[in-house]
Structure 1
Amino acid sequence: MKHPSALLLLALVAVTALPAQAQLLPQAPVGATASGTQPLDRIVAVVDENVILQSELNDAVRSVKQQYASSPGQLPPDDVLERQVLDRLILMKLQVAKASDQGIRVSSADVDQAVAAVAQQNHMSPEQLQGAVEQSGQGFAAFRDQLSDQLLVQRLHDSVVRDSVNITDSEISNLLASPTYKAGEVHLAHIQISIPAGGTAADIQSAQAKAQQALDAIKGGMDFNAAAIRYSDAQDALEGGDLGWRKVDEIPPAFADTVAGMKPGQVSAALRGPTGFHILKLVDQRAPSRQVVTEYHARQILIRPSELVTPEQAQQKAQDLYNRIVNKHEDFAKLAKENSKDPTTANAGGDMGWFQHDQWGSTIAQQLDQLKDGEVSQPFQSEAGWHILEREGTRKSDVTDESERNQARQAIGNRKAEQAYEDFLRQLRSDAYIDILVPALKNPDAQSNS
């Protein structure tokens, strides 16, 4: 059975349930045995009041290797990969603990919905997904724990961003009016070499040297994605540093100026940013285009069932009104004003104004597709009740300016949110007690944080 993509996405957050006696386990080498048969687990890192076990690290590393089974050359040596994965497990522990401290909770029903969504994305039923997870060697309970942790972290992210990111109309207007405003989108990948919060001159020098090592490796022929896996300490490092498509104005201005001068395939120098050094690759770019959509003008009559009107009576009343409109040629607007129970359109004779295809929902959109201008629909049912729809006209409308304003709002929001959460994570890690107990897993460039 195909290994589900969810397992690949979750490889970096393989947080399994911690046995109650785990903290009492001796720090034995991997492979040591008790009673000569059972291997003992060991603690590889202490993260505040939590620990990371060797078994957790092994499971997460194994998942990453499964993800890259078709291209193992993309992965760094095992010792580097283990440090990369451990770093992300540490960050996940910190975020989950912070979310719990802030009272953020995830219910069993929330996890059920997440399982169903993952199954759907992989074209499976939940039962098939469970079988695939167990076939991969992971317990399904641990898989659900991973999903729960991801939901916690997502809600923590939303909370941090919500509390720290505000966007005003003047900011949007200023961005659109700015001569430096750049339209279009770029597909980027990046390598990030972070500097600790409150980093010293030695920290900065070490990060700069590591960034130069990454650049030298790329110039020497190493694939950019492989270099990201090996050198980057961003959360997306093990995905090759892929940032996907984004508006140019979602990128910090200093970086946007650099990207503007690049061609697809080019790699930037090491750029100093607020959180460290960044190396960017422009994968591709695309120019904006005018956005023209079809808009519809229609009227509707809505008959709602109520305590006094049964569903059958509502259907019959809608049918009677349809007959009066079509067979007796009574005025649609007059009947709508007298009979429709839609509070937003009834007083306007059922006039829905001009709107885009799905603006009033998929049920009405389906009816619009079946009508010609001037035609009246047969009564049809939605969750709201029974409708009669008259399509009055269509037009092409240029929504580029409106769309551009929405995109500018999103660009400002994304840029602020990304910076806010990156700052939050740096501070979270800086304030934490982290003790890596296995010397081979310590980052040779990192300063002690204990």
Structure 2
Amino acid sequence: MRIMPHKKFPARAKFHSRALASAATLSLMVAPVSVSAQAVQGQAAQDQDVPNVGLNVPKNLTVFDSKTPSNVYKPTAVVNGEIITATDVDQRLALLVIANGGKITQDEIQRLRVQIFSNLVDEKLQIQAAKAADIEVKDAEVDQQYARIAANFKQTPAAFTAYLGKNGSSAASMKQQIRGEMAWDRLLGRNVEPFTNVSEDEVKSILDRMQATRGADEFWLGEIYLSATQETMPAVADRARQIIAQLQQGGSFPGYARQYSEASTAVVGGDLGWIRPAQLPEEIAQAAAGMQPGQVSVVPVQGGISILLLREKRKSLMANANDAVLSLKQISLPFPAGTSREKATQLASQFATQTQAIKGCGMADDVATKLGATVVSRDQIALRDLPAPLQNTLLQLQVGQTTQPFGSPEEGVSVLVLCGRDMPEDAGMPSVEQVEEKLKQDKVNKRAQRYLRDLRRDAIIEYS
């Protein structure tokens, strides 16, 4: 790859995905980290020798061209003759801001600009490679996907276009991202997937291991992987700390994974799916075993740092309690306007005492009437759709019992009465076809990474 002048931008590969991701990714609230980024940084600072990377790099080098600071980039480039402008970067950045509910600090903005610029370069290369292979993505297909994303925002395409413009982005920017992902998906489908094979022995080996580990722990993980050398580890650890801070403020883990992660799962928001400890590097397996659902940890790994989100735990091939289906009654009592927090706590305590007298759902309506409360009945409620504290309580209750009171001074107090609970059956073994498809996609992702690396190496990119 010939680059003029000699400025190097960090790159992130975007890989094969069956489902196009959108800026409508829901934000995930996360718990405090269990390993601090500062600890990672301090650990790395103990060993600062220049690593042997096969290059003749002096230990105390001098940068002779100091007219332009090396960490300041002007976000414009020509990629094989096609231009990326500052406006392109601004509008794509606005999409990420929308996805994160506007919760991105100004310090983070500059780092995101650099990463988004790198993503746009990759996107250009992917679209160009697909075009060279006579792969066409029709405007009607892009418009159809755009309409689906607009529907996620409960808007028509026209209203969504206006919404994007009002928030600093544009329909053109989102459609270009959609086009890039469709083009890359189809290019891999033609040039990579047909030549990726999975043997019967590979599938049998996976199924045998799954049967042997029935009942073992499995984790549903999200990962943001940041590569680092001994030299760059302090800076990368600092970046990990800043990402964690954004996540703690309600930032979208999938959104940050798409922009920052250098793993092949970046395109699907860093989602690793359900995975067993034996399939993970030892450092990650140990960290996941000590985490609780919703918690985020920073884990030093070989070659860099992983930011992990534990979404859920389960036992392999066993029933998952979170898949239980509930029948509930909610008894709610509003507080008078202007109720203080102290008064609300007192009223909630009285409400708890009175509702604990309920012995079965048949009594719920009579007790509610005496209290001047309202009753709402709901069936077919998935346990996993409820807040985590209520999930834990409802799993421990017997049918007919009530939860602890919950609410707020503004909205009043409520309890749930458990009227029924249907537990899920044990999960069955995946089919041969499912295992084969999973193995094939893993291989496709690895080959896609090499494919994109080759495109970068052969590209002519002029940075200005």
The TM-score normalised by the length of structure 2 is 0.49
Distance in 2, matches of 1:250 and 1:106, equals 40
Matches within 5 A, 1:168-317: 168-178=199-209, 185-194=218-227, 204-214=229-239, 223=248, 229=256, 233-234=260-261, 242-244=269-271, 246-248=273-275, 253-254=280-281, 257-258=285-286, 261-264=289-292, 265=295, 267=297, 269-272=299-302, 276-287=303-314, 288-290=316-318
Identify the residue that residue 422 of structure 1 maps to in structure 2: 449
Task: Verify the 8 A CA contact 1:259 1:282 in the aligned structure 2.
Answer: no
Distance in 1, matches of 2:427 and 2:247, equals 41
Q: How many residues align?
A: 284
Matches within 5 A, 1:322-361: none
Report the CA distance between 1:168 and its aligned residue. 2.4
Compared CA separation, residues 407 and 277, structure 1 to 2 (3 A): farther
Identify the residue that residue 94 of structure 1 maps to in structure 2: 125
Report the CA distance between 1:174 and its aligned residue. 0.7
Task: Verify the 8 A CA contact 2:147 2:157 in the aligned structure 1.
Answer: yes
- What are the superposed Cα offsets for residues 114-135 of structure 1, whole Å, 9 maximum, x if unpaired? 2332333333334443444454
Identify the residue that residue 95 of structure 2 maps to in structure 1: 63
Q: Is 1:129 aligned to 2:155, yes or no?
A: no
Paired AA for residue 117 in structure 1: R
Report the CA distance between 1:248 and its aligned residue. 0.8
Task: Verify the 8 A CA contact 1:247 1:411 in the aligned structure 2.
Answer: no
- What are the superposed Cα offsets for residues 192-234 of structure 1, whole Å, 9 maximum, x if unpaired? 2347xxxxxxxx4445454444566689998596999599742
Compared CA separation, residues 70 and 211, structure 1 to 2 (3 A): closer
> What SS class does the counterpart of residue 137 from structure 2 fall into?
coil
Compared CA separation, residues 283 and 230, structure 1 to 2 (3 A): closer
Distance in 1, matches of 2:118 and 2:186, equals 21
The equivalent position to 1:120 in structure 2, one of 137, 148, 151, is 151
Identify the residue that residue 11 of structure 2 maps to in structure 1: none
- What are the superposed Cα offsets for residues 261-307 of structure 1, whole Å, 9 maximum, x if unpaired? 442336353222xxx53414142333245579xxxxxxxxxxxxxxx
The equivalent position to 2:440 in structure 1, one of 374, 388, 413, is 413
Task: Verify the 8 A CA contact 1:160 1:420 in the aligned structure 2.
Answer: no
Question: For the aligned residues, what is the CA RMSD?
Answer: 4.5
> What SS class does the counterpart of residue 299 from structure 2 fall into?
coil
Q: Gaps (5+ residues) in structure 2?
A: 1-20, 26-73, 321-424
Compared CA separation, residues 117 and 266, structure 1 to 2 (3 A): closer
Paired AA for residue 135 in structure 2: I
Paired AA for residue 189 in structure 2: D
Task: Verify the 8 A CA contact 1:44 1:54 in the aligned structure 2.
Answer: yes
Percentage of pairs with the same residue:
17
Paired AA for residue 445 in structure 2: E
Paired AA for residue 131 in structure 2: S
> What SS class does the counterpart of residue 281 from structure 2 fall into?
helix
Distance in 2, matches of 1:250 and 1:160, equals 33
> What SS class does the counterpart of residue 152 from structure 1 fall into?
helix
Identify the residue that residue 158 of structure 1 maps to in structure 2: 189
Q: Which has the higher contact order (CA 8 A, sep 6+)?
A: 2
> What SS class does the counterpart of residue 135 from structure 2 fall into?
coil
Distance in 1, matches of 2:267 and 2:186, equals 25
The TM-score normalised by the length of structure 1 is 0.50
Task: Verify the 8 A CA contact 1:190 1:243 in the aligned structure 2.
Answer: yes
Report the CA distance between 1:105 and its aligned residue. 0.7
Task: Verify the 8 A CA contact 1:267 1:281 in the aligned structure 2.
Answer: yes
> What SS class does the counterpart of residue 116 from structure 2 fall into?
helix
Task: Verify the 8 A CA contact 2:219 2:276 in the aligned structure 1.
Answer: no
Paired AA for residue 91 in structure 2: D
Task: Verify the 8 A CA contact 1:43 1:51 in the aligned structure 2.
Answer: no
Identify the residue that residue 325 of structure 2 maps to in structure 1: none
Distance in 2, matches of 1:230 and 1:247, equals 17
- What are the superposed Cα offsets for residues 32-67 of structure 1, whole Å, 9 maximum, x if unpaired? xxxxxxxxxx97123232221122122222333333
